[in-house]
Amino acid sequence: MVHRRLLSLALLFPLILSLSGCPKDPYRAAIQGSADVSNAVSAGIKITSAYYSAGTFNDSQKATAAKYFTIVTDCNMAFRKAVVNVHSMGATGASAFLPIADSFVSCVKNSAPVADDPKVRNVLQAVDTAINGISLAVQSAKGGK
């Protein structure tokens, strides 16, 4: 029961953050989306650790989750760097940041390990939600049309 509550909170965390207000522009939306992904990865690591300590995850499940979190973090760092570079060049519209957001989603999907285990998939779902929310946040940002 405690694990379900923890998992539910982790799944809702990125959604709550993304709905907490519309950023003023696509750049800030992209940066906030990157922060949301980082927070979701952090929550996922904590859940994975708790599951492993409790015996809910075995070594293989832990390794799959860890590999996924590493890939997401690497893709997120590349995404954040690209966003800052485009912003530094003076770009302001959503059209400048959407391709970067889409490449972030593709980076994770093309590199992530396949998680056939439903327990592992449930833990990784919160991070996927945050990643997929970046494009939506950039697209719906105020002042960036």
pLDDT along the chain (145 residues), means of 10: 54 50 79 95 96 96 96 97 96 92 94 88 90 89 64
pTM of the full structure: 0.82
Task: Tell me which amino acid residue 110 is.
Answer: N
Give the per-residue pLDDT at 143: 60
- What does the block give as tokens for 90? 């003076």
Look at residues 36, 41, 39, 51 and name the one whose alpha carbon lies nearest to residue 6.
51
Note the pLDDT of residue 11.
54
Cα 55 to Cα 131: distance, rounded to the nearest angstrom: 28
C-alpha dihedral sign at 80, 17, 22, 106: positive
> Is the distance from CB of 43 to CB of 13 less than 8 angstroms?
yes
* pLDDT for res 52: 97
